[in-house]
């Protein structure tokens, strides 16, 4: 890591912390920010987490931190009103600078922020068990539910058009027309696959435009390692709030399902290995809807499956765009890596399409069971 202890100490000094930091160490397996764990000398004081925000990806850090502040304040207020909740452990707490600002800008132009470190928590990169999928779904369902009464237009778009398929497609077609790396003739089959699905993949956007889907506050990076689990592996806190912004609930659902349902890795070369893990899909759906059923409209419930189709499709479009452009965005480990990733996402989508009715059936059954249970209670 390029950040020296002296440099980090000077940064830490700007923050309004309690006690004295005894050790600093690189932390976690996030791919976006540089994260450091700060251990307090005296354990009557809290430990902290220092992060350099990736401002190559997040261009407007002040707006990003303003989003995080608004969202964490709202979550804290909502949780405080729920019996047995523990807002200190269930929401991120921003540690401001001594001068009150929410981030520190160093001499190199890097932005830094600090959170309270949440002790006795675990996070995992991969979902392997149904109980984990359930807890992941519950965490993101609850997150959306608690934010469902907050005005989404209060938040900035930290990455504009992040899940906008029209924009992703227009970039793809632009890359295709320019054909700068002379690769477009290699990808006729993949291009055909994308072309055939353009209309159906705009369903969520169109429902939104027509006013049938509400613009909500969504997380937009619903990976399992963005949920902190407690010592008993129960969901405790949703973290990594950099991409929290206005969106449609189906984006978060589809984003989580894309990895959970895939028995192989994102860039699997052997397409025969790409199979659906339907029990994990069902477990995530159960966890998610157990919290989200309180606020979702019927159209939103119907839109969830559109998200399950859309997110792998969008990922295929993005990988193929990068391949055609000569691998300029994603890090690649070998020649053709982006094409291999594209093919793996297309295969995943084919599998999902083949099981479309089964998956819709699961969503509907889980939702109706929850609805019937609530009717019986009330
Ligand atoms: P990235 O955007 O790089 O994924 P994250 O905010 O997700 O950054 O942080 C990286 C890792 O640090 C997380 O996966 C988690 O393991 C850990 N982490 C983040 N915030 C906290 C926190 N407040 N308390 C404890 N661990 C945390
Ligand atoms: Mg993360
Ligand atoms: Mg992140």
122: CA distance to ligand 2 center in Å? Answer: 13
344: CA distance to ligand 1 center in Å? Answer: 28
219: CA distance to ligand 1 center in Å? Answer: 14
Identify residues whose C-beta is under 5 A from ligand 3, the ion: 32, 240, 242
Q: Does a structural domain hold residue 122? A: no
Give dist(CA 364, CA 371) in Å, integer. Answer: 10
The CATH number linked to 28 is: 3.30.200.20
Nearest ligand atom owner, CA of 32: 1
54: CA distance to ligand 2 center in Å? Answer: 12
Q: Does a structural domain hold residue 124? A: no
Domain count, the chain: 2
Q: Does a structural domain hold residue 212? A: yes
Quick one: what percent of the chain has pLDDT higher than 90? 94
What predicted TM-score, i.e. pTM, was given to this entire model? 0.96
The CATH number linked to 364 is: 3.90.1200.10
Both 40 and 64 in a single domain? yes
Give dist(CA 171, CA 165) in Å, integer. Answer: 10
Confidence of residue 378 (pLDDT cuts 50, 70, 90): low
pLDDT in tens, 207-242: 999 999 999 999 999 999 999 999 999 999 999 999
Residue 292: HSE in the Cβ half-sphere, 13 Å Cα cutoff: 32
Q: Does a structural domain hold residue 121? A: no
pLDDT in tens, 44-74: 999 999 999 999 999 999 999 999 999 999 9
Q: Does a structural domain hold residue 123? A: no
Both 229 and 136 in a single domain? yes
Both 173 and 100 in a single domain? no
Most informative mutation of 239, 242, 243 for ligand 1 (most atoms within 8 A of CB): 239
Both 163 and 235 in a single domain? yes
Question: Would you say the C-alpha torsion 212, 218, 220, 221 has a positive or negative sign?
Answer: negative
pLDDT in tens, 261-284: 999 999 999 999 999 999 999 999
Both 145 and 31 in a single domain? no
Find out whether the beta carbon of 94 lies less than 6 Å from any atom of ligand 1: no
Q: Does a structural domain hold residue 297? A: yes
Both 225 and 307 in a single domain? yes
Both 166 and 307 in a single domain? yes
pLDDT given at position 5: 85
**Domain range for 66:** 5-116
Find out whether the beta carbon of 114 lies less than 6 Å from any atom of ligand 1: no
Both 224 and 252 in a single domain? yes
Nearest ligand atom owner, CA of 29: 1
Most informative mutation of 225, 237, 240 for ligand 1 (most atoms within 8 A of CB): 240
pLDDT in tens, 82-114: 999 999 999 999 999 999 999 999 999 999 999
Both 136 and 243 in a single domain? yes
Residue that finishes a domain, picked among 93, 116, 139 = 116
Q: Which atom of ligand 1 is nearest to the CA of 32?
A: 3
Q: Does a structural domain hold residue 321? A: yes
User: Structure tokens of 27?
Assistant: 């932390």
Confidence of residue 140 (pLDDT cuts 50, 70, 90): very high
Enumerate long-range contacts of 2-8, CB under 8 Å, 24 or more apart. 3/34, 3/36, 3/52, 7/106, 8/36, 8/50
pLDDT given at position 1: 53
Q: Does a structural domain hold residue 292? A: yes
Both 101 and 224 in a single domain? no
Find out whether the beta carbon of 72 lies less than 6 Å from any atom of ligand 1: no
Residue that finishes a domain, picked among 94, 116, 138 = 116
pLDDT in tens, 167-197: 999 999 999 999 999 999 999 999 999 999 9
Both 186 and 79 in a single domain? no
Q: Left, alpha or beta for 110 (phi > 0: left; psi -120 to 50: alpha)?
A: beta
Residue-wise DSSP of 311-366: HHHHHHHHHHHHHHTTS-SS--SSTTHHHHHHHHHHHHHHHHHHTHHHHHHHHHHH
């Amino acid at each position: 890591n390029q950040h020296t202890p002296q440099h980090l100490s000077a940064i830490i000094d700007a923050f309004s912390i309690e006690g004295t930091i005894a050790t600093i160490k690189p932390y976690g397996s996030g791919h976006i920010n540089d994260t450091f764990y700060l251990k307090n000398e005296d354990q009557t004081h809290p430990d902290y987490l220092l992060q350099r925000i990736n401002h190559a990806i997040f261009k407007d850090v002040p707006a990003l931190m303003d989003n995080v502040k608004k969202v964490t304040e709202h979550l804290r207020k909502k949780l405080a009103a729920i019996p047995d909740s523990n807002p200190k452990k269930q929401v991120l707490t921003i540690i401001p600078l001594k001068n009150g600002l929410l981030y520190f800008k160093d001499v190199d132009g890097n932005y830094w922020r600090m959170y309270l470190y949440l002790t006795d928590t675990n996070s995992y990169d991969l979902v392997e068990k149904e109980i984990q999928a359930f807890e992941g779904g519950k965490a993101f369902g609850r997150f959306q539910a608690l934010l469902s009464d907050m005005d989404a237009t209060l938040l900035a778009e930290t990455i504009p058009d992040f899940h906008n398929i029209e924009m992703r497609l227009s970039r793809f077609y632009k890359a295709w027309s320019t054909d700068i790396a002379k690769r477009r003739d290699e990808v006729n089959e993949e291009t055909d696959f994308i072309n055939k699905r353009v209309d159906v993949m705009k369903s969520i956007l169109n429902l939104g435009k027509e006013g049938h889907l509400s613009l909500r506050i969504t997380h937009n990076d619903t990976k399992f390692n963005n949920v902190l689990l407690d010592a008993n592996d129960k969901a405790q806190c949703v973290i990594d709030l950099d991409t929290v912004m206005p969106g449609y609930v189906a984006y978060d659902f589809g984003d989580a399902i894309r990895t959970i349902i895939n028995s192989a890795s994102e860039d699997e070369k052997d397409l025969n290995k790409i199979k659906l893990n339907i029990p994990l899909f069902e477990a995530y759906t159960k966890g998610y809807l157990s919290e989200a059923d309180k606020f979702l409209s019927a159209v939103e419930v119907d839109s969830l499956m559109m998200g399950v189709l859309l997110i792998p499709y969008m990922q295929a479009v993005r990988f193929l765009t990068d391949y055609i452009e000569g691998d300029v965005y994603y890090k690649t480990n070998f020649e053709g890596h982006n094409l291999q990733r594209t093919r793996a996402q297309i295969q995943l989508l084919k599998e999902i399409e083949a099981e479309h009715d089964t998956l819709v059936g699961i969503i509907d059954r889980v939702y109706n069971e929850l609805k019937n249970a609530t009717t019986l209670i009330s």
